[in-house]
């Protein structure tokens, strides 16, 4: 087990940085087994306060501190498992490993809108450049794209991508209140448009167009009188000198033919029962 002396804090490091050099030396010389697992767990437990401290630095990014500590602990375990004492002290090796695990967590799990990793990197550079420019004496809270590009060593197009990605980290609730206009405020959902049913009509008309073109002139005229002029079947029959029952059969057969051609996926110019072209 680690002794009190083995866990003493060094003056050069943080207060939560234990002296585990001897323990890591022992780990390097042990083969897999219960003794190595026990010593490894003690080392992890000794460094856990440091991992929690690092996690606290990410607490204002929208994730609970409990979840952040779990992610940081995972990073610590990775660092302990892959650490080679010959590389030097453990802390300079573990800190970037733990921070990297936390950053990956935010990159992979905390974005409401999927954004490519390259664009996420642009977002971070743009955000940092904006902050630095705003903190300069006389700096603008909203620096222009050219100033941000010069500060971040990016092109203006890359800055625009980064600015767009800033809005992708967290989505705005549809219940969010908009700024009031003329003393009246609305929710975001109130500003969204509704589906236009006319689009379905356009699609249906285009789908039926081919079938209508293949109908004889009389049948096209009958359908037009019935569905566009709203004439009764009896009046249509009187115009063409045929019975109302005959008009009904022609309308039914014509509609069936148009419907079949509208649903046909073939490339032929057939009257369709498909399989035959021409």
Model confidence pLDDT, tens digit, residues 7-52? 444 434 556 678 888 888 888 888 888 888 898 899 999 999 999 9
Cα separation, 83 vs 249, whole angstroms = 85
* Confidence label for 277 from pLDDT (cuts 50, 70 and 90): very low
Residue 65 or residue 112, greater confidence:
65
Domain 21-109 belongs in CATH node 1.10.1740.10:
yes
Structure token pair of residue 43: 């080392």
First to last CA, the chain: 89
Cα separation, 188 vs 173, whole angstroms = 8
pTM given for the model: 0.41
> Are the C-beta atoms of residues 233 and 248 closer than 8 Å to each other?
yes
Model confidence pLDDT, tens digit, residues 109-118? 655 555 566 7
pLDDT (0 to 100) of residue 85: 86
Q: How many residues does the chain have?
A: 278
* Cα 274 → chain centroid: 43
What's the mean per-residue pLDDT of the chain? 76
pLDDT (0 to 100) of residue 238: 92
How confident is the model over 59-78, as a mean pLDDT?
Answer: 84
pLDDT (0 to 100) of residue 276: 38
pLDDT (0 to 100) of residue 1: 47
Q: Is the pLDDT of residue 72 over 70?
A: yes
Cα separation, 162 vs 154, whole angstroms = 10
Model confidence pLDDT, tens digit, residues 202-231? 666 676 777 788 889 999 899 889 888 888
Model confidence pLDDT, tens digit, residues 117-173? 677 678 778 888 888 888 877 766 678 888 888 988 989 888 888 887 766 555 555
Which CATH number applies to 198-262? 1.10.10.10
> Are the C-beta atoms of residues 188 and 172 closer than 8 Å to each other?
yes
pLDDT (0 to 100) of residue 111: 53
pLDDT (0 to 100) of residue 244: 92
pLDDT (0 to 100) of residue 110: 56
Query: Could you give the residue ranges of the DSSP H alpha helices within the chain?
Result: 21-29, 34-56, 65-82, 90-109, 117-135, 145-152, 156-166, 198-213, 217-227, 233-240, 244-262
């Amino acid at each position: 087990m680690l002794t009190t002396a083995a866990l003493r804090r060094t003056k050069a490091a943080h207060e939560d940085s234990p002296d585990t050099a001897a323990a890591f030396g022992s780990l390097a010389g042990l083969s897999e087994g219960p003794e190595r697992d026990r010593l490894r767990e003690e080392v992890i437990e000794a460094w856990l306060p440091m991992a929690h401290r690092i996690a606290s630095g990410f607490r204002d990014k929208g994730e609970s501190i409990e979840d952040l500590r779990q992610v940081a602990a995972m990073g610590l375990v990775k660092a302990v498992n892959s650490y080679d004492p010959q590389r030097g002290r453990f802390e300079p090796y573990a800190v970037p490993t733990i921070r990297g695990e936390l950053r990956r967590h935010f990159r992979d799990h905390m974005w409401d809108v999927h954004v490519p990793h390259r664009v996420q990197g642009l977002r971070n550079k743009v955000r940092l450049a904006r902050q630095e420019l705003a903190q300069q004496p006389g700096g603008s809270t909203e620096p222009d794209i050219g100033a941000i590009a010069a500060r971040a060593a990016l092109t203006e197009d890359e800055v625009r991508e980064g600015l767009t990605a800033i809005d992708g980290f967290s989505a705005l609730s549809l219940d969010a209140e908009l700024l009031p206009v003329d003393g009246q405020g609305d929710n975001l959902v109130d500003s969204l448009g509704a589906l236009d049913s006319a689009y379905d009509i356009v699609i249906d008309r285009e789908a039926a167009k081919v079938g209508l073109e293949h109908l004889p002139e009389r049948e096209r005229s009958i359908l037009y009188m019935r569905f566009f002029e709203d004439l009764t079947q009896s009046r249509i029959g009187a115009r063409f000198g045929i019975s109302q029952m005959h008009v009904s059969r022609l309308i039914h057969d014509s509609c069936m033919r148009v419907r079949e051609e509208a649903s046909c996926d073939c490339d032929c110019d057939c009257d369709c029962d498909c399989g035959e072209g021409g």
